[in-house]
């Protein structure tokens, strides 16, 4: 793929704007209790083109079965919006308490939340063409605003997807951190959500329905060495509402029937330690987590049902990994910030095409970062400092299936450096990003080239 090449021409633009208002009222009820009321209102609007691309197997283009598993062609398509509006209003009330019951310290949070989404959005689009990814001299500029307008003028769009209607969510949340001793704390929390869909459209017409979810959380912190070493473990649950889906109904002459989806449930266990040592010169957190997601919608494994685009809700995905964060100040003026994470994610019960594989939304399995900074002592040159560090990411599979094969964004290391001169009245600084001019790509099922070497300088005056 040409690092500097664009796959679109001119005129594929979108007009979007939003207005957001946020307000907060804090009130001290007593020495032990406080109240916080938060109000949020937003209005968004968009209209115009939304170009997007996706890779397709060569065999689809060449009609040659021997080309299966290769992806050298790009579909260029548009997803437009027309006078699309979305209004969101939320009010959240929290009561915080910190008090003793007998000799036991309690820190509680009682929360109430109301969220209202009023959607009046109109999405539509069409495929423009299929082009090779990298052919010398190929004219990619034909995918442009003028040609897309002509395509829509010649006939209706290939798909429309209106989203309209009102969705309300009523929530309540209660948690308590209880200090059993000065070294042992436990957490218990429960959230309840009542989801109310007033009906409308989500592509097709959706009748109104209601759904209730409970989400618990438990935690434990023990300090073998008070204020220096903490061991922790926790469990928490989260959920996603999926509305309705088309299921295959064998009893009704193999037809489709509309069913309300159960909540997708994610259950996470986490454990680790936090260390503060050498009089605050070293702070480290190490944790391990395991997450299992149930009730994922997937294509019905019955070929007759799959041919009718039916789904079943028995999919599962697991993720587990470790995270390490280190902040150190080994001697005066020198600071170290470092991080490392490893994530093993897999679809355990999914469509046969991707079952057992890493999801394309899981990003790189290994991520790492390091930043070193040093400020010279005052007796050498007061206010002068330097920084150096970077980020590392391992291979990222943005396609990963039997039919498509694997499309991998290669691993990369990006280095950065900075220098500054800081005085009471002014500050001069310079930073070089991507010091080695590394060509690298990031993506969330996409491939996006990132900036090459850049130098940024700034001068600020304080008065």
Kindly list the distances between the CA atom of residue 164 and the CA atoms of 47, 122, 202, 206, 397, in Å, as whole numbers in the listed order. 16, 8, 7, 9, 35
| Alpha carbons 71 and 138: distance in angstroms, whole number | 18
Residue 343 has pLDDT above 90, yes or no: yes
Residue 175 has pLDDT above 80, yes or no: yes
CATH topology of domain 18-49+84-123+160-461: Maltoporin; Chain A (2.40.170)
Average of per-residue pLDDT values in the chain: 93
- Express each pLDDT in 29-72 by its tens digit: 999 999 999 999 999 999 999 999 988 888 889 888 888 777 78
Q: Domain segments of the chain: what residues?
A: 18-49+84-123+160-461
Residue 450 has pLDDT above 90, yes or no: yes
C-beta atoms surrounding 395 within 10 Å? 13
Percentage of the residues of the chain whose pLDDT score is greater than 90: 77
Is residue 174 within 8 Å of residue 110, measured between CB atoms? yes
**Is pLDDT larger for residue 378 or for residue 163?**
163
Kindly list the distances between the CA atom of residue 65 and the CA atoms of 59, 299, 303, in Å, as whole numbers in the listed order. 6, 24, 21
Percentage of the residues of the chain whose pLDDT score is greater than 70: 100
| Alpha carbons 163 and 81: distance in angstroms, whole number | 11
Three state DSSP letters for 279-318 = CCCEEEEEEEEEEEEEEEEEECCCHHHHCCCCEEEEEEEE
What's the pLDDT score for residue 392?
98
| Alpha carbons 367 and 72: distance in angstroms, whole number | 28
| Alpha carbons 299 and 293: distance in angstroms, whole number | 17
Tokens of 142: 């034909």
Q: DSSP state, 69? A: T
pTM of the model: 0.88
- Express each pLDDT in 70-111 by its tens digit: 778 999 999 999 999 999 999 999 999 999 999 999 999 999
β-bridge pairing 454-461 and 426-433: antiparallel
């Amino acid at each position: 793929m040409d690092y500097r090449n664009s796959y679109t021409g001119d005129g594929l633009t979108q007009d979007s704007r939003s207005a957001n208002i946020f307000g907060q009222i804090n009130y001290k009820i007593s020495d032990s209790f406080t109240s916080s009321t938060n109000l949020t209102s937003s209005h968004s609007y968009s209209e115009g083109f939304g170009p997007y691309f996706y890779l397709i197997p060569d065999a689809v283009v060449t009609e040659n079965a021997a080309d299966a598993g290769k992806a050298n062609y790009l579909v260029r398509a548009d997803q437009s919006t027309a006078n699309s509006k979305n209004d969101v209003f939320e009010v959240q009330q929290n009561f915080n308490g910190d008090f003793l019951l007998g000799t036991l310290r309690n820190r509680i949070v009682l929360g109430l939340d109301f969220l209202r989404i009023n959607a009046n959005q109109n999405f539509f689009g069409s495929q423009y063409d299929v082009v090779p990814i990298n052919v010398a001299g190929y004219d990619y500029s034909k995918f442009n605003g003028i040609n897309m307008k002509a395509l829509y003028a010649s006939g209706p769009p290939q798909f429309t997807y209106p989203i309209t209607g009102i969705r309300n969510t009523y929530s309540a949340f209660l948690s308590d951190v209880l200090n059993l001793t000065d070294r042992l704390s436990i957490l218990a929390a429960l959230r309840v959500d009542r989801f109310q869909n007033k009906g409308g459209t989500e592509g097709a017409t959706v009748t109104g329905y209601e759904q209730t979810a409970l989400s618990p959380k438990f935690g434990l912190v023990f300090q073998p060495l008070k204020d220096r070493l903490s061991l922790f473990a926790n469990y928490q649950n989260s959920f996603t509402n999926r509305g309705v889906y088309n299921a295959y109904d064998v009893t009704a002459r193999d037809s489709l029937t509309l069913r309300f989806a159960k909540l997708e449930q994610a259950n996470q266990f986490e454990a680790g330690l936090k260390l503060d040592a050498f009089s605050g010169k070293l702070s480290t957190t190490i944790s391990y987590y395991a997450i299992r997601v149930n009730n994922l919608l997937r294509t019905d494994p019955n070929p007759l049902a799959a041919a009718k685009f039916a789904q079943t809700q028995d999919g599962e995905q697991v993720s587990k990994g470790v995270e390490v964060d280190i902040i150190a100040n080994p001697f005066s003026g020198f600071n170290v910030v470092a991080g490392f994470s490893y994530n093993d994610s897999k679809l355990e019960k999914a469509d046969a095409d991707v079952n057992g594989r890493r999801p394309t939304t899981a990003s790189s399995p290994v991520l790492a970062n390091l930043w070193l900074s040093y400020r010279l002592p005052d007796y050498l040159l007061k206010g002068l400092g330097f920084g150096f560090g970077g980020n590392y990411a391992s291979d990222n599979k943005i396609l990963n299936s039997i039919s498509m094969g694997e499309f991998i964004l290669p691993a990369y290391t990006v280095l950065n450096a900075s220098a500054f001169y800081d005085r009471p009245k002014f500050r001069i600084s310079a930073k070089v990003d991507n010091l080695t001019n590394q060509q690298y790509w990031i993506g969330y099922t996409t491939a996006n080239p990132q900036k090459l070497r850049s130098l940024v300088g700034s001068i600020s005056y304080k008065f």
